[in-house]
Structures are given as C-alpha cells and as structure tokens.
Amino acid sequence: MSIHTENIKIVTTQRVLEMKQRGEKISMLTAYDYTMGRIVDQAGVDIILVGDSASNVMCGNETTLPITLDQMIFLAKSVVRGVKRALVVVDMPFGTYQGNSREAIVSAIRIMKETHCDCLKLEGGEEILESVKRILSAGIPVMGHLGLMPQSINKYGSYTVRAKEEAEAEKLLKDAHILEDAGCFAIVLEKIPAELGAKVAKELTIPVIGIGAGCGVDGQVLVIHDMVGLNNEFSPRFLRKYANVQEVMNNAIKNYVTDVKSGDFPNEKEQY
C-alpha cells in the first residue's frame, strides 16, 4: 500500500523540504476547481497548484496575462475546499506584484485571507526580490518560478526553451540562489535544458520542481488538462499524456445525444 493511503497527513512546506533531503521525488499538478482539486488530492499528489494557466485552459485566453486577482481568488477558494492532504500553492497573477512591493503584499494577503491556501508562487528573480521579501516577511511561504515565465511572454516573444545560452543560464542560476537566500521554500523551473535543471537542483538546498526541466530536479509539475488529455491541442516534448479524457468525454456525449434523440434515454428505471 502506498504512503498516500496508509499515512494520510497534510503536506507542509517542511515536509516538501524533507522529501528533497531524503531523495523522494515531489509530485505536483494544477487544479482550478473543487472537483478537480478533490480528484487530484485523493490520488495522492503532494502539491496542487492553482496556476494562472487557468487563463489559458479555463478561460480560453492566449496568454496568462488577462486573468485577474479576483478570478484567481475565486478559483483558488474552490480548489481549497476540495483538498485535504496536499499543499495548495496559488499563482499571483500578472500585475499584482511586479514593480510594486506594497501592492504585492496587499494582493498576497488578500489571496491568503480569502482562499485559505498554503502558499504563493511568483515568476521572476532579482527583479521581484523586494516583493518576495515583503511577502515572506508576512509569514507567507513563497515558491519561485524561473526559466520560461509565461507572464513575460511579451518580453521574449515565444514559448521556446529558455537559458540555452550561457548568459541566460548564469542569470537563472544566480536568480535561483537569490530566491533561496531570500527564503523561498521551493522553485519551479520551466522549459530549460535538463543539464541546467540538474545543476540548479544540486546547488540548492530547497526543492526544485521542473516542467520541461529534465529528470535531475527534485520533482515534476504538469498542467492537469494536458496530462489527462483534456486538451489535445498542446503537445510539447516534455508532456507525457496519461489518458485521453477528451476522447472519453466526446464518446460519452455523442452517446447521450444519440440516446436522447432516439428516445432511449430515459428508460423506465430512470424515471419517477
């Protein structure tokens, strides 16, 4: 029997750190609503991220930029209600922490108070250090996010692999140390060379969780819609699809339409 069903207890930032220390890989997935939060939690995932990727997969936006603080709070509140065991991290949306640490702490406290989540994730390194420190000083655990940072898509112009060049790799490594020194409890690395991912994980004492950052990091994160095949239009190399839920739902819905049209549904047992 797995540890998850035998020994159910709340995952904390301390427990996540201990996983790294004893070499246990950390599993992390996104969720954006109550039902999905409940399913992901009951399946034994360690960390649930209410990602601003909700802007794409839940709202149909091209980027993560349009999602608002109110929308993230609405989604996160729903997820938290469904989660008993996992650590719940909420993404601070674009425009709520960049360049203004006072606004950052006000937004952070709103998310914590209104959603009852466990911690927050912010994209960026040295340039957002003041905001990170101010949030940490309020006793709120912070997860960093380096490499491909979708909130900066307009700066980079594409979603290609980051930090392939030496200068960008050096900056990423420096930023990772800055975030660790500031007191972040973990860092996400998105879409960078595997060798760099492994180097960062080796140099840092805090957990490094990768998405497209290779197998040498301390854990992995994927977007739930992508890994269960709810969104078959997105197929980057780093994605492993564990199911084809879109096909399952398509078939179920087609069968329902056929049964309604033919009068087969509802039958005698399905009525009062």
CA angle 252, 254, 255 (to 5 degrees): 65
CA angle 251, 254, 255 (to 5 degrees): 85
Annotation marks residue 195 as catalytic: no
Residue 47 as a binder of ligand KIV (CB under 6 A): the answer is no
**Active-site option among 6, 190, 203, 268:** 190
Residue 91 as a binder of ligand KIV (CB under 6 A): the answer is yes
**Nearer Cβ to ligand KIV (208/211):** 211
- Position among 40, 47, 51, 80 found at the interface with ligand KIV (CB under 6 A): 51
Residue 223 as a binder of ligand KIV (CB under 6 A): the answer is yes
Size of the site for ligand KIV (CB under 6 A): 11
**Nearer Cβ to ligand KIV (83/223):** 223
Residue 221 as a binder of ligand KIV (CB under 6 A): the answer is yes
Phi-psi region of 60 (alpha: psi -120 to 50; beta: other; left: phi over 0): left
Neighbours of 252 (CB within 10 A): 10
Buried b (16+ CB within 10 A) or exposed e, 85-119: ebbbbbbbbbbbbbeebebbbebbeebbeebebbb
Residue 53 as a binder of ligand KIV (CB under 6 A): the answer is yes
**Nearer Cβ to ligand KIV (132/167):** 132
Coil, strand or helix at 161: coil
Min separation Cβ 96 and ligand KIV, Å: 14
Catalytic machinery residues: 190
Q: Which residues bind ligand KIV (CB under 6 A)?
A: 30, 49, 51-53, 91, 188, 190, 211, 221, 223
